[in-house]
Homo-oligomer: A and B are copies of this chain.
Amino acid sequence: MKKIKKALISISNKENIYLLLKYLTKFKIQLISSGGTYKEIKKLGFKCLEISKYTGSPEILGGRVKTLHPKIHAGILSKRNNKSHQKDLIKNNFEKIDLVIVNFYPFEKTLESTNNHNKIIENIDVGGPTMVRAAAKNYKDVTVIIKPKQYNELIKELNHNNGSTSLDFRQKMSEEAFNETAYYDALISNYFNKKSKNLFPQKKIIIGNLIEKLRYGENPHQEAAIYSKSIKLNIKQLHGKQLSYNNYNDIFSALIISKSLPKNTGTVIVKHTNPCGVSINKNNLKSYKLALDCDPISAFGGIVSCNFKINKKLAIELNKLFLEVVIGNGIENEALKVLKKKKNLRVIDANHLKLNNLQNIVSNFGSILLQSSDTNTFSPKDFKVVSKKKPNFKTLKNLIFAFNICRFVKSNAIVLIKKDSTVGIGSGQSSRLDSCKIAINKMRQFQKKNDSDEIFAASDAFFPFVDGIEKLVQVGVTAVIQPSGSIRDKEIIRFANQTGTILVFSKTRHFKH
């Protein structure tokens, strides 16, 4: 237990300090402060000594230097049970400071509110982190408080211990303080890296704000949590049970596809992070129904993501199926009412989520693999028709649609399309031929046999042999899109020409493992 006699307060966030000051005064704790905090304390009617009077050193450089003084830092850093430290204090006429209440210049808020580099730099706090780091280092003797949220904890602790704090409490506050200083400098570091377009600095600092601890991970015996690089996630849960790890994983897998589809037309159904049905249609209800038709069995217990606002009609249709999550770019009120009839169904509004420059992280065994995400937008220029038979505009559009979905399917990926809707998706195989077979089997299982629509196919990487594309053509595929690069490309072009198949090569390959 350490009795608190002297506290230093320097806060940029002045929230909720009245009650705190009341308690500090109640326990006869002497206050030292400066600048705006000092004025606020006086205004609220409490006694307080100005730091410049305390140190005998003026506040200079417009406030840049006020607390960086040996009297302050010896007061914080001295070990109470170290005789030599205590002698040093007496000799220099320094006093112990037992409590440091500091929060930093709002660097993060500044980043969010301005692009003005000078203003951003001015908001790098130097004095604050120094006091906090000193106090946190010396937590065996000193209590450090870094945010208004902790005031109540401090008041409780002081009340409970009659003006003292326990070692446990001080250690917990110290831990939170170092979390904060690390986070603060990570923001600055990331800001500089971004400014100089340094994607891969020698030391990479990835920060996360805890969104929630999850019930468990991919499996019940794994512990898990979800964090956001920003202060919050840009999706909003409007209804339903707590999201699980697998829900989140599926939601982001679904959204990366949804956000890549033409606006206000697309429905994606995801199961185990793989799409099992995708469709684009200006009629939203049709869009959903066609996506579902691709594999209605896999859709059971899946996630439906619409890149349009969900209306009542669609909500009624969605309720007919057991789903884990429904995602919309907004949900109409009447639709939400309908969806809420299902108590457990999680309903998500993803209207504010944007497909920005993203970096993916995969970490195993203490390694961290970082890469820019594969979300570039395709344009017809990225593709080259290599067959004699040329695609018309509609065919090319369908091929690009198919190819775009393909890159979000686990490799090796084959996607079969009819009129803006998937009809067969083959995923997760080491043999491309196997993926073809899986896609074809899905199509056979769920599509009407005598339907005359053309079938288009996409492959995420080149066909190494003719066998894969041959299988596709045998079941009626009339146009194929794929990256080039096989030593058998010519053979494959020849096969396409022999069978009157349209063949388009893309410039880019799209593995997703």
| CB closest chain-B residue, reference A183 | B203
Known: A65-B77, A207-B205. A228 touches B366 (CB 8 A): yes
- The interface residues of chain B lying within 8 Å CB-to-CB of A199 are 223, 225
Q: Does A495 contact B (CB under 8 A)?
A: no
Across the interface, A227 reaches (CB within 8 A) one of B84, B209, B370, namely: B370
20 A-B pairs (CB sep. < 8 Å): A61-B88, A68-B73, A126-B134, A171-B192, A175-B193, A175-B198, A182-B186, A202-B210, A224-B369, A225-B370, A228-B366, A234-B365, A248-B369, A250-B513, A253-B364, A256-B364, A272-B412, A353-B365, A359-B363, A362-B362
Identify the stretch in A326-334, A336-344, A428-436 within 8 Å (CB) of chain B at 4 or more residues: A428-436
Q: Does A379 contact B (CB under 8 A)?
A: no
Given A65-B74, A174-B192, A204-B208, 13 additional A-B pairs, CB 8 A:
A60-B70, A61-B78, A68-B72, A175-B198, A182-B189, A203-B209, A222-B374, A234-B365, A272-B412, A272-B511, A298-B430, A427-B428, A427-B429
User: How many residues on chain A are close to B (CB under 8 Å)?
Assistant: 134
- The interface residues of chain B lying within 8 Å CB-to-CB of A84 are 61-62
* Contact call B511/A219, Cβ cutoff below 8 A: yes
Across the interface, A196 reaches (CB within 8 A) one of B74, B134, B172, B429, namely: B172
* Contact call A366/B358, Cβ cutoff below 8 A: yes
* Contact call A221/B124, Cβ cutoff below 8 A: no
Q: Does A371 contact B (CB under 8 A)?
A: yes
* Contact call B297/A219, Cβ cutoff below 8 A: no
Q: Does A133 contact B (CB under 8 A)?
A: yes
Q: Does A376 contact B (CB under 8 A)?
A: yes
- The interface residues of chain B lying within 8 Å CB-to-CB of A133 are 124, 126, 129-130, 185
Counting every copy of the chain, the complex holds: 2
* Contact call A430/B225, Cβ cutoff below 8 A: no
* Contact call A68/B411, Cβ cutoff below 8 A: no
Most buried by B among A174, A364, A430: A430
* Contact call A189/B200, Cβ cutoff below 8 A: no
| CB closest chain-B residue, reference A200 | B225
Q: Does A273 contact B (CB under 8 A)?
A: yes
Across the interface, A182 reaches (CB within 8 A) one of B57, B60, B88, B188, namely: B188
Across the interface, A88 reaches (CB within 8 A) one of B60, B171, B200, B207, namely: B60
User: Beta-carbon contacts of A281-325 to B below 8 Å, as 1s and 0s?
Assistant: 000000000000001011000100000000000000000000000
* Contact call A365/B255, Cβ cutoff below 8 A: yes
* Contact call A364/B252, Cβ cutoff below 8 A: yes
